[in-house]
Amino acid sequence: MIVGIIGSGAMGAGIAQVAATAGHNVVVYDNNAAALEKAKKNLAATLQKLQEKGKITSADDIMQRFSFAGEVSAFADCGLVIEAIVEKIEVKKAVFGEVEKVVSADCILASNTSSLSITSIAAACEKPDRVIGLHFFNPAPLMALVEIIPAIQTDVALIGRMKELMLKWGKTPVIAKDTPGFIVNRVARPFYGEAIRIMEEGIADIATIDHIMTSVAGFKMGPFTLMDYIGHDVNYVVTETVFQSFFYDPRYKPSFSQKRLLEAGWLGRKSGRGFYNYAEGTPSPDATSDMDIAGYVVDRILAMLINEAVDALYLGVASAADLEIAMTKGVNYPKGLLAWCDEWGAANCLAVLDGLYEQYHEDRYRASPLLRKHAIENKKFV
Ligand code: NAI
């Protein structure tokens, strides 16, 4: 099967590399000739490095499977086309419409969107049943997780076919309902949002929260370091999009602290400043040595994360097994959140949330009905 990729940016090039390495001939299309040229050079350099490291046998063999095109007509013989262009619904809809004119009737059309509804993209197509979400993580060649998202119009047989294909590509697929943020970008929100809230309330500073979440809770990066690493142009925008898409559910409310960073152009590591200042010679702020607050910070952020995972399970966003895979493979959490809840005890987690709800009287802290049920019945999730 020939695979088509629309968009040769960070994600398109990465997905193209994965498909070609798995043995497919790959057609990469971009409407920006310079971007296409850059992708071609970068792919050749990346494959050369992989060959030197002994990870692949022949960079040339893989490179020969690529063709680069400035016209959608190049997709004519593709069996699967994956779109990874700018995150704008109208642009995506228009491109899907164009592609549909040149591909065969059984060509599968996939979108790598992080935040748009697959159903709305499918609705722009003449054959919406062939449209599906394939959400890779950045960098696509290194991150194992792929969220498969059927639109409400998608032919159900496609789900199994895509799952099989992703396994062949060496990926770890999970299936997510077409809801805002799918699995990872929804369930991970409190890791950022609750940490910021704790900081804004003056309970602990960023260095202390980061220190606690890594050394006590076992996360690879603290929330502020991670947000700076992802970039506030990406992380804040995802938060705001998820918040709007959930009809302004206060659980996902963005923060002014992060919005101001974005407005200032303090995008994080890539711009030299975010929550932290990365300018040479600037000392990193120290975490307080008083760790009395550690238990409170971990319990609060963890309870919010677990509640989000449990609620996603309750609302049928994904199976329990897929939720666990998504959070450990997609964002490298030290444990699946449902298993973490079982270990901690649903009743203990619920007590933290109910305590916060009692204190703040904010809907943000409402516990999922499923968490409450498990706490009452003393049941486990996994
Ligand atoms: P990017 O900005 O690096 O690349 C986008 C590419 O699409 C550019 O080369 C651009 O020239 C091309 N393009 C734009 N409009 C086009 C059109 N009408 N026709 C053909 N080509 C067009 O963007 P990136 O980061 O690769 O993201 C692409 C998609 O992947 C977005 O939907 C994004 O939400 C999603 N995504 C991004 C992730 C990330 O961490 N960057 C992670 C997972 C998904």
> Which pTM was predicted?
0.95
Pocket-testing residue among 85, 99, 117, 136, ligand 1, by greatest number of atoms within 8 A of Cβ: 85
Task: Please name the amino acid found at residue 233.
Answer: D
Q: Are strands 145-150 and 131-136 parallel, antiparallel or unpaired?
A: antiparallel
The DSSP symbol for 244 reads H
Q: Which of 166, 332, 271 is nearest to 174 (CA)?
A: 166
Q: Please indicate whether residue 134, judged by its CB atom, sits closer than 6 Å to ligand 1.
A: no
Q: Please indicate whether residue 121, judged by its CB atom, sits closer than 6 Å to ligand 1.
A: no
Residue 68 has a pLDDT of: 97
Residue 205 has a pLDDT of: 96
Residue 251 has a pLDDT of: 95
Ligand 1: centre distance to CA 85 (Å): 3
Protein residue with least CA distance to atom 17, ligand 1: 31
Q: Please indicate whether residue 139, judged by its CB atom, sits closer than 6 Å to ligand 1.
A: no
Known catalytic residues are: 114, 135, 147, 185
Ligand 1 atom nearest the C-alpha of 136 is 43
Ligand 1: centre distance to CA 130 (Å): 21
Q: Within 10 A of 323 (CB to CB), how many other CB atoms are there?
A: 27
Quickly count helices (H) and strands (E) in the chain: 17, 8
Residue 106 has a pLDDT of: 96
Residue 314 has a pLDDT of: 98
Ligand 1 atom nearest the C-alpha of 113 is 32
User: What residue ranges do the domains of the chain occupy?
Assistant: 2-178, 183-382
Q: Please indicate whether residue 330, judged by its CB atom, sits closer than 6 Å to ligand 1.
A: no
How far apart are the C-alpha atoms of 200 and 160, rounded to whole Å?
45
What residues of the chain score a pLDDT lower than 70?
none
Residue 288 has a pLDDT of: 82
Quick: pLDDT tens for 1-49. Answer: 999 999 999 999 999 999 999 999 999 999 999 999 999 999 999 999 9
Ligand 1 atom nearest the C-alpha of 7 is 7
Pocket-testing residue among 114, 116, 137, ligand 1, by greatest number of atoms within 8 A of Cβ: 114
Q: Please indicate whether residue 235, judged by its CB atom, sits closer than 6 Å to ligand 1.
A: no
Tokens found for residue 129? 């049943």
Ligand 1: centre distance to CA 113 (Å): 9
Protein residue with least CA distance to atom 9, ligand 1: 9
Q: Within 10 A of 145 (CB to CB), how many other CB atoms are there?
A: 23
Judge contact between 111 and 11, C-beta under 8 A. no
Q: φ, ψ for residue 31 (rounded to 5)?
A: -85, 0
Dihedral angle sign, alpha carbons of residues 231, 235, 332, 362: positive
How far apart are the C-alpha atoms of 81 and 363, rounded to whole Å?
42
How far apart are the C-alpha atoms of 201 and 309, rounded to whole Å?
25
Q: Please indicate whether residue 261, judged by its CB atom, sits closer than 6 Å to ligand 1.
A: no
Interior CA angle at 29 toward 24 and 33, to 5°? 135
Architecture category of domain 183-382 in CATH: Orthogonal Bundle (1.10)
DSSP string, 119-156: HHHHHTSSSGGGEEEEEE-SSTTT--EEEEEE-TTS-T
Q: φ, ψ for residue 201 (rounded to 5)?
A: -75, -5
Q: Please indicate whether residue 179, judged by its CB atom, sits closer than 6 Å to ligand 1.
A: no
How far apart are the C-alpha atoms of 59 and 65, rounded to whole Å?
10
State in Å, rounded, how far the first CA of the chain is from the last one: 38
Ligand 1: centre distance to CA 38 (Å): 14
Beta-ladder partners of 78: 2
Pocket-testing residue among 8, 31, 41, 86, ligand 1, by greatest number of atoms within 8 A of Cβ: 86
Instruction: Respond yes or no on whether the N-terminal peptide bond of residue 139 is cis (omega within 30° of 0).
Output: yes
Query: CATH fold of 2-178, please?
Result: Rossmann fold (3.40.50)
Ligand 1 atom nearest the C-alpha of 85 is 7
Taking CA atoms, 372 is separated from 178, 214, 321, 376, 378, in Å, by 25, 28, 20, 6, 10
Sheet of 66-69, strand order: 66-69, 26-29, 2-6, 78-83, 108-111, 131-136, 145-150, 172-175
